[in-house]
Structure 1
Amino acid sequence: MPIVRKTNRKGLRNSRNFNRTKSAEQNYSLYEMFEQFMNYKQTEGLAKPTLEQYYEHLHYLSDFTGGDLSIEEITVETFRSYIGFMLQEKKVAPTTANVRIRTIRAFLRFCFQEGWIDEPIHEKFKPVKTPEIQIEAFTPTEIKAMLNGIDDTRFVGFRDKVMIYTLLDTMVRISELLKIKRCNVDLKSGQIQLEPHETKTKRARLVPISVKTIKLLKEYIRETEDFGCETLFVTYDGRPIVSNTWRRRLTELGEKAGINNKRVSPHTFRHTGALFYIMNGGDPFSLQKILGHTDMSMVRRYIQMSDTDIKNQHKIFSPWNRVFKNSR
C-alpha cells in the first residue's frame, strides 16, 4: 500500500486562496474597496490630516476616471494612463505625483492581499524618477536678521522668539512644536518629551534643549502661567496656535529680514538645525534619534550638505593661502 502524506486536513483549504475566491465573487467597486481600505487605515492610528490626504488622492484619481470603477476596469493600464495624465496633461510635479502614486499602490496592495483583485497591479507601476531635491537652510546671518526683526517687548514677539529658539534647537516638526505641553518641558534635565500621538512616526522621543533655550523657556513659562492652558505655545489670549497662522508669521519675519531667495518655513528651520548639528561635530546617529527619522537616508543628505560647505570653507582657508598670502 502506497504511503499517503497529508499536508492539510480535508476539511480545510488554504486560507489565502479561499479568501481570494470568496472575495472575488463579491466584485467590489473601486469606491467600495477604498472605503474598506480607509477603515483599515483608521485602525493603524493615522493622524486625521493623513487620512484626509488619502481621500484627496482618491479625488484626483476620480477626476481622471470620471467616477467609480467596476472590478473589470481596475487594470494596470488604467493606473499607468493616470500617471501619464498627471505628468503630461495636468503638469503635476513628479514629487507631487509620487505622493499620489504611493497612496494608490498601497491601496491596490491591500486589495490584492484581501483577495478583491486577482492581479498584483501595484507591482506593475512605480513612482517616477525625480531630480534630487535641494534642501534649503538658513545662514547664521539670516537667523540673526529674523530675530533682530522681532519686538520681544510685546508678548507675541517674545513668544515668537522663544518658538524660533526651540524650533532650531530641538529640530522638531511644526506639528510637534505646537502640541508640546507645559508638563512635558523639563527645564532641570534640559529635555522636552514628545508623546507618541504628537509625532509623525507615532513614537515617543526626548529632544534636548540648550542652556540659552532653557533660560528663554523658563521666562516664557512664567509669563504664561495665568493662561491656565496645558499647551506650551499659545496666542495672546491663551489659545493653542494654528500652524498656518504661525507659518505666515515666519514668512513676514523673513520678508522683514530681506530673505527672498529661499522659503522661510518651520521645516527650513528643521533642516538648518540638522545641518548646523553635523557641521558642529554632532554624530549622525544621535541626530537621527533627535529628528525622529526611522532610517538614515535623510541624515545622509545633511552630511552631504555639510561636505559642500567644507569645500567652500577650504577655498577660503586653504593652507596654501597662508603660503602665498602676500603674493599677487
Structure 2
Amino acid sequence: MQTVVRKTQRKGVRSNKNISRLKNLEQKMTLFEMFERFMNYKQTEGLAKPTIQGYYEHFHYLNDYLGRDIPNEEVTVELFREYIGYMLHEQGLKPTTVNVRIRTNRAFLRYSFQEGWIQIPIHEKFKPIKTPEDEIQAFTPAEVKALLNQIDDSRFVGFRDKVMIYVLLDTMVRISELLNMKRANIDLKGGYIKLEPHETKTKRTRSVPISTKTIKLLEEYMRESEDFRSEFLFVTYDGRDILSNTWRRRLTELGETAGIDNKRVSPHTFRHTGALFYIMNGGDPFSLQKILGHSDMSMVRKYIQMTDSDVKRQHNVYSPLKSIFGRR
C-alpha cells in the first residue's frame, strides 16, 4: 500500500503567523511607538546597560535628523539611505561611527518588519559601509609615563585616576567593566578582580589577574575611599558613581596636556596597549584571550597589531638562529 505524504498546509491557506502579521500591518503606529516596543523586547534579553543605552542614543541621533515623529508608512528605504548620506557628507562622521548607528537601526527595523509594523524588509536594503581594516593604536611606554606625569596624585581625584589607569592597563578591561567593579569583588590576597556577568559584554563571569604594583595601589586606594560607603570601587570625590563620558573627557584632557595628539587617548586605547605589551613581554595569546574575555581568537589578533619596530625587537630576542648558534 502506497504511503500518502500530505503537505502540512494546503495551498492558499495562510498560517497563523502570516495572519497575525497582516493584522499588524493594519495598525497605525509611529516610529517612536515602534521603537519603544522594540526596546521593551530588548530589555527582556538581559543586555548590558551600555548596550541598552547605545540603542537609545543612536535612536536619538535619528530623531534629531528627522525632527519629528513619523507614521509607520513613512518609514522607507529612501529615508534611511538619505540619513546615511547625511551622516557621512553633512556631519562628516567617520564610516566606523556611521556603521555602529547603521547596525542598531537595522536591528530595530528587522524587528519591526518581523512584527508586521512595516511592510518592506528595509533592513535588507542597506548595509554597513565597507571600510579598510582599522589600525588599532596603542601607546608607547613613554606616552603612558607622560600621561601619568600629568596627574597630581596628592589629591584624591588624581590618585584615583592614577589607580584607574594602572587597573586599565593591568587588567585590560573595558570601560564599563572598570566603572562597575565592586569593592567586594577585589581579592587583593589572591591577586584577582572578579567581573560579574551582568556587567561584562559576553554575560559571563570573568576573573582578571592583577600584578603586585596594582595590588599595592589598590590597597592604598581602598583604604582612602572606605568612608564613602559605596559598593563600587571607583567613585567621585563625593562618593557618587563615575559616568563613563566624564572619565573619557578626563583622559582626553590628560592627553592634551601630555602633548599626545597623534592618537586617541581613550579607555579602549589602554586596552589595546595592555594587550600589546602583554604579548611583547612574552605572554601567550591564549591566556590573553581569557583575560580580554573574547570567545574568538580573531579579535585577539586585531588587538595585538605590531609596528615594524615592535616586530624587529621581538625578532632580536626570539630569532630562530639563537636555537642553533646561541646568543652570540
TM-score if structure 1 supplies the norm length? Answer: 0.82
Give the superposition deviation at 1:26. 2.3
1:225 matched to 2:226? The reply is yes
Alignment of 1:230-245 (within 5 A): 230-245=231-246
Alignment of 1:107-256 (within 5 A): 107-256=108-257
1:260 matched to 2:261? The reply is yes
Which residue does the alignment assign to 1:324? none
Distance in 1 separating the partners of 2:226 and 2:318: 53
Give the superposition deviation at 1:136. 2.0
The answer to whether the 8 A contact 1:170-1:208 is kept is: yes
Give the superposition deviation at 1:40. 0.9
The answer to whether the 8 A contact 2:197-2:205 is kept is: yes
Distance in 2 separating the partners of 1:17 and 1:226: 60
Distance in 1 separating the partners of 2:258 and 2:73: 58
User: Structure 1 pair 130/151, CA: closer, same or farther in 2 (3 Å)?
Assistant: same
Which residue does the alignment assign to 1:269? 270
Give the superposition deviation at 1:170. 0.5
Distance in 1 separating the partners of 2:239 and 2:137: 33
The answer to whether the 8 A contact 2:55-2:104 is kept is: yes
Aligned amino acid, residue 246 of structure 1: W
Give the superposition deviation at 1:192. 0.4
User: Structure 1 pair 61/226, CA: closer, same or farther in 2 (3 Å)?
Assistant: closer
Aligned amino acid, residue 228 of structure 1: R
Distance in 2 separating the partners of 1:256 and 1:89: 31
CA offsets 1:107-161 (integer angstroms, 9 cap, x no match):
1111222233343221121111123323221111222233344444443333332
User: Structure 1 pair 231/65, CA: closer, same or farther in 2 (3 Å)?
Assistant: closer
User: What SS is found at the alignment partner of 2:306?
Assistant: helix
The answer to whether the 8 A contact 1:278-1:302 is kept is: no
Alignment of 1:80-99 (within 5 A): 80-99=81-100
Q: Which has the larger displacement, 59-68 or 142-151?
A: 59-68
Distance in 1 separating the partners of 2:243 and 2:54: 19
Q: Which has the larger displacement, 93-102 or 64-73?
A: 64-73
Distance in 1 separating the partners of 2:132 and 2:192: 37
Distance in 2 separating the partners of 1:77 and 1:276: 47
1:283 matched to 2:284? The reply is yes
The answer to whether the 8 A contact 2:48-2:200 is kept is: no
Distance in 1 separating the partners of 2:57 and 2:238: 34
CA offsets 1:234-276 (integer angstroms, 9 cap, x no match):
3344333343443344344434433333232222211110111
User: Structure 1 pair 315/98, CA: closer, same or farther in 2 (3 Å)?
Assistant: same
Distance in 2 separating the partners of 1:55 and 1:135: 27
1:21 matched to 2:22? The reply is yes
Distance in 2 separating the partners of 1:279 and 1:318: 11
For structure 2, which runs of at least 5 residues remain unmatched after alignment?
Answer: 320-328
CA offsets 1:208-229 (integer angstroms, 9 cap, x no match):
1112211222232233333332
TM-score if structure 2 supplies the norm length? Answer: 0.82
Matched length: 317
The answer to whether the 8 A contact 1:108-1:120 is kept is: yes
Aligned amino acid, residue 234 of structure 2: F
Distance in 2 separating the partners of 1:281 and 1:242: 35
Percent of matched pairs sharing the same residue: 70
- Backbone CA RMSD of aligned residues: 3.2
Aligned amino acid, residue 147 of structure 2: M
Distance in 2 separating the partners of 1:162 and 1:276: 18
User: What SS is found at the alignment partner of 1:306?
Assistant: coil
